[in-house]
Structure 1
Amino acid sequence: MKKYNNTDMKMYKLLLLCFFVPTLAFGQKWKLVWSDEFNYKGKPNEKFWSFEKGFARNEELQWYQDKNAYCKKGVLVIEARREKVLNPEYKKGDTNWKTSREYAEYTSSSIKTEGKKEFLYGRVEVRARISTACGSWPAIWTLGKDKEWPSSGEVDLMEFYRINNVPSILANAAWGTNVRWKAKWDGSNKPLSHFTEKDADWASKFHIWRMDWDKDFIRLYLDDELLNEVDLSKTINADGSNAFHQPQYLLLNLAIGRNGGDPSQTKFPLTYEIDYVRIYQQK
């Protein structure tokens, strides 16, 4: 009898998804409109993904670079490393956090579908295994294609970091206010212990994060447990527009430090593995 590897099984499941329209929650029928199963070797498919570069946001410690994201054995691996990288934007005596550091002490990757794969409403599923080590800040999130943040709208399908030093899983949405770069948040968080008390091996396993999005609500799930429900009648920007009535694009990244905690005593490398990303639309 032929033995099938993980990639073979993923392709078989994807074919089933394509040929049999799934009837999912509330009797709705969904059609798979795009996916990346990562069943190839090397960098993420450039038709779908581009890379962020350098220092990005939140005064995090990592330097984003291409070589920390790669596909093998049917998964995308984003790897954070403790390694020193010269900052070409360094300016001696500068106070800006992006230019005041001569070196980055950590590297990682952040990829996004901006300008390549954007979607309005539907279901997003991401199966992933995250790092829960101190200093780790993995995320699955979306941003709107138009307007400046936060009026563009942000959805955090998943963030893992420490709140008052308690490891936590977050599911959030943000939109604009009348103050530039100040967001209004609808956030939800659960301590990691909420999940590990049910399954002591939770952190070593893959899990499915999901967003169901229509014109009225965004609902965020982890392994079918509802974590947050966002009422879109309330997500109105200061200019009267609705942040979540426009297409969004997807980001996957592994940040280090800041909300993730102090990584100085953590053993590196850290890995964040994504088995697949799938987007459905209602049929």
Structure 2
Amino acid sequence: MKVLITLLLFLPSLSMQTPVSQTQQSDYKLVWSDEFNTDGAPNPDNWTYEKGFVRNHELQWYNTENARCKGGKLIIEAKTDTSKNPIYDPTSSDWKKARPKIGYTSASINTSGKHQWQYGRFEMRARFDVDPGLWPAFWTLGVNGEWPSCGEIDIMEYYRGKVLANIACGTLARYKARWFSNTKALEEFKDKDWAQKFHTWKMDWDEQAISLYVDDQLLNSVKLSELENASKNPVNPFKQPHYILLNLALGGDNGGDPKGTPFPRTFEIDYVRVYQKEPNAIKQ
């Protein structure tokens, strides 16, 4: 999800292959979850908010008010907004300050500083609108290091008619990522009602590999041995704890043009769960 200037490495479709590392559900124990069963703001013991314009030249201003729990689900809502940009500076070339109006609002929440995990099964059941310009994501970042050397895993990312399963590590150039990416167009699911349904997104991550799934269909699998940052003293950003992010972005570098999309639009999350294996569970 965090896309600046990147070096892309596209892998062939892995949906019919066996993942590099596979573990039965019975080997895992639930170590953390949020079921979003209490109406109101997301649980502050679990989540913190990003605010304002944040990354990727995206169009939305992140607000706390755009994330709420209702009826057992977390609802992240994107809306149009003609309010003045509170950081507007007509003399600035900074993309965050050069816009006179906000245009859109949405929400981005994460577990940074509250919960982070090294290895395990990360799972989300969710439904999201797929209109032009929308960019929902369920992803992780490593707790140490500057992006992309901290490591990024996009367990679920959607834009421009396709879902993406991505893993990124650092290169010798600052802010340039090496991407291990796989995509699947919505029509490949062969279900005209796919976007109206809830789907389960899953990552299995252990000392050997990272494997990403939707509805138990493998989308991407990469060995950890391939994921070291390029440097004189290589570090593997996937041998450290990561925290979870949930957000609904608009436009920007990859999201497309939302001008013809009716608003509000939503990203609905039924639950987020983290499982780990014993006795090697690493939870902080």
Report what 2:130 is aligned to: 132
- 1:227 pairs with 2:219: yes
Structure 2 unaligned regions, length at least 5: 1-21, 279-284
- Say which of 115, 118, 132 aligns to 1:117: 115
Report what 1:190 is aligned to: 184
Are the aligned partners of 1:141 and 1:155 in contact in 2 as well (CA < 8 Å)? yes
| Greater share of helix | 1
Mapped to 1, the partners of 2:186 and 2:166 lie a distance apart of 16
Q: TM-score, normalised by structure 1?
A: 0.88
C-alpha deviation, 1:158, in angstroms = 0.7
Are the aligned partners of 1:63 and 1:85 in contact in 2 as well (CA < 8 Å)? no
Report what 2:12 is aligned to: none
- 1:66 pairs with 2:61: no
- Say which of 27, 49, 57 aligns to 1:29: 27
Are the aligned partners of 1:69 and 1:79 in contact in 2 as well (CA < 8 Å)? yes
Q: Relative to structure 2, which stretch is displaced further, 254-263 or 117-126? A: 254-263
Letter in 1 for 2:50: E
Report what 2:3 is aligned to: none
> What is the 5 A alignment of 1:52-201?
52-162=50-160, 167-195=161-189, 197=190, 199-201=191-193
- 1:203 pairs with 2:195: yes
- Say which of 240, 244, 248 aligns to 1:250: 244
- Say which of 204, 222, 228 aligns to 1:212: 204
C-alpha deviation, 1:113, in angstroms = 0.3
Are the aligned partners of 1:75 and 1:276 in contact in 2 as well (CA < 8 Å)? yes
Identity %: 54
Q: TM-score, normalised by structure 2?
A: 0.87
C-alpha deviation, 1:25, in angstroms = 4.0
Mapped to 2, the partners of 1:268 and 1:221 lie a distance apart of 29
Mapped to 2, the partners of 1:116 and 1:171 lie a distance apart of 25
Q: Relative to structure 2, which stretch is displaced further, 169-178 or 26-35? A: 26-35
How large is the Cα RMSD of the aligned pairs? Answer: 1.2
Mapped to 1, the partners of 2:247 and 2:83 lie a distance apart of 18
- 1:50 pairs with 2:56: no
C-alpha deviation, 1:260, in angstroms = 2.0
Mapped to 2, the partners of 1:30 and 1:134 lie a distance apart of 38
Matched residues, number: 254
Higher relative contact order structure (alpha carbons within 8 Å, sequence separation ≥ 6): 2
Structure 1 unaligned regions, length at least 5: 1-23
Secondary structure of the residue that 2:225 maps to in structure 1? coil
- Say which of 234, 244, 255 aligns to 1:260: 255
CA deviations 1:234-272 (Å, max 9, x no partner) are: 111124110100000000000011322111111100010
Mapped to 2, the partners of 1:26 and 1:146 lie a distance apart of 30
